[in-house]
Amino acid sequence: MRYPRIILAGAHSRVGKTTLTMGLILAMKKKGFNVQPFKAGPDYIDPSYHTAVTGRACRNLDTWLLSRDAVLELFERQARACDISVTEGVMGLYDGLRDQEEGSTAHLAKTLHAPVILIVDASSMSRSAGAVVLGYKEFDRDVDIAGVILNNIGSPSHYAGAKDAVEKNAGAPVLGFLGRDKGLTLPERHLGLIPTDERALFDAFSEKLLGLVEKNIDVDRIIGIGQKAGALPDFEKTIFTGEPARDRVRLAIAKDAAFNFYYQDSLDILQHYGADPVNFSPLHDKTLPPGIDGLYIGGGFPEVFASGLSGNAGLKDEVYNRAESGMPIYAECGGLMYLVKDLTDFEGRNFPMVGIFDASVRMGGKLAALGYVDIEVVENNILSGKDTRAKAHLFHWSGLNRLSGSQRFAYKVKKNQESHTDGLSKWNVLASYSHLHFGSDIRLAKKFIRSCHDAKETATKTGHNVR
């Protein structure tokens, strides 16, 4: 079966990939196409914009975190239900793990056999745009650069000159442009764009973007490029195998403005293997959902909403008490920050948190960690057994301090030649700065669900279950 698909890649970071991806999706939807969005790499925030404009959950495709077969399975699972798939790349086209191809947009394009539309920031060049595109085409001829979009064009003559240089010297069709316009800049903070959970996707912004894309970009030609994509490569299905589990557990998922960093495929994997998810808000809900057997608190911006999280004392107490009674809780990054004793924000204000772990978190003035890491499990926990190996991603500005010597760590994390501990572990709670994708190893999801089953059975036998 053929799956129409394109990848929008940047010549470098901050070239306008997210804005152009949104604009093209809006234009395709207006033409009646059912569009499935994807995002290359481990980003959580850009996908929230594509989810907002399509009404379909954007999926992450990461060729370092995930195997080739996993990438193809996750892509095909969503693409088969849509008319066309649009993937936003990560960083520059060829930027991957250190000096390797893995994790790059180019690697994903070759894995999916997908044509690439290269976005070039032409704000400070004209004829040189031809040299830039030629270099990108020649760097790896196995990458199909099927067209170019020029961004930050200053005038009609500027566009004409740059377009002519690209088409004559690089042999790539220029499919349109966007002009310089500060009104098309999406708001950012320390981790990137502000998630759509915190702000309305303003109708005026969307309408303006759509109008400019329709006026200046050949959307029909881009759709045609996607429709000409060849067959998807063969792959072995390894993730969503067999029928969904019948023996279920009820899993609470923290989802609100403070916590919204989740891979949708990871949530789907948990559901397939036996978890029935129910969302709740640590900011606004006064109690946990009834009848839950486990809790998953993802990443996000607890430092921005620390006052509200801290002030919701009843919920904090309930989370602590459920943890103490043995309910499994898995927390990532922002979730870890919520489970320690207190959090100090960028302004130096301190806020009491849940207090499961005898440690504090303080926001720093610069990135504390960024990039892919390898995990060696050194202590059995609710997700994995000792000596398990896993891949993960780090991206945080905070750090642990005032850590008591009694705290245990489940992970040894390695990046390049350096290593450090991670994965605070206590009772049936695991809290880590490392972000996992359950598609990289479904055994992690299965063990989490088994941990919830075991805790439920123990609570039932002792009469302590709350259902």
Same domain, yes or no: 358 and 401: yes
DSSP secondary structure code for residue 245 in this structure: P
Same domain, yes or no: 217 and 325: no
79-112 residue pLDDT tens: 999 999 999 999 999 999 877 899 999 999 999 9
454-466 residue pLDDT tens: 998 887 777 655 4
Of 180 and 319, the structure prediction assigns the larger pLDDT to 319
333 is catalytic: yes
- Give the pLDDT of residue 198: 43
Q: Where are the beta strands (DSSP E) in 379-434?
A: 389-396, 398-401, 408-415, 418-426, 429-432
191-203 residue pLDDT tens: 445 555 444 555 7
- Give the pLDDT of residue 245: 86
- Give the pLDDT of residue 403: 76
Same domain, yes or no: 215 and 270: no
Q: Is residue 306 part of a domain?
A: yes
Q: Is residue 238 part of a domain?
A: no
Decide which of 177, 196, 227 is a domain's last residue. Answer: 227
448-463: burial string, b at 16+ Cβ within 10 Å, e else:
bbebbbbbbeebeeee
Decide which of 173, 194, 227 is a domain's last residue. Answer: 227
Q: pTM here?
A: 0.93
The two structure tokens encoding residue 438: 């359950």
- Give the pLDDT of residue 367: 65
Question: How confident is the model over 335-361, as a mean pLDDT?
Answer: 94
- Give the pLDDT of residue 190: 47
Decide which of 227, 260, 277 is a domain's last residue. Answer: 227
Residue 340's domain is classified under what CATH number? 3.40.50.880
Of 399 and 334, the structure prediction assigns the larger pLDDT to 334
356-373: burial string, b at 16+ Cβ within 10 Å, e else:
bbebbbbbeeeebbeebb
Q: Where are the beta strands (DSSP E) in 262-320?
A: 275-280, 294-297, 299-300
Question: How confident is the model over 338-349, as a mean pLDDT?
Answer: 93
- Crossing angle (nearest 10°) for helices 17-30 and 219-227: 90
- Give the pLDDT of residue 111: 98
**Number of domains within the chain:** 2
- Give the pLDDT of residue 202: 56
Q: Is residue 244 part of a domain?
A: no
Same domain, yes or no: 136 and 32: yes
Same domain, yes or no: 143 and 275: no
Q: Is residue 17 part of a domain?
A: yes
Give the separation between CA 253 and CA 332, rounded to whole angstroms: 12
Q: Is residue 42 part of a domain?
A: yes
Same domain, yes or no: 315 and 403: yes
108-154 residue pLDDT tens: 999 999 999 999 999 999 999 999 999 999 999 999 999 999 999 99
Same domain, yes or no: 292 and 168: no
Q: Which stretches of 171-297 are DSSP H helices?
A: 203-216, 219-227, 264-272
What three-state secondary structure class fits 216? helix
What's the domain range around 304? Answer: 249-462
Q: How many CB atoms lie within 10 A of CB 313?
A: 10
pLDDT bin (cut points 50, 70, 90) of residue 207 is confident
Same domain, yes or no: 206 and 330: no
410-440 residue pLDDT tens: 999 998 888 899 999 999 999 999 999 999 9
Same domain, yes or no: 220 and 321: no
Among the ranges given (76-85, 174-183, 258-267, 297-306), the one the predictor scored with the smallest mean pLDDT: 174-183
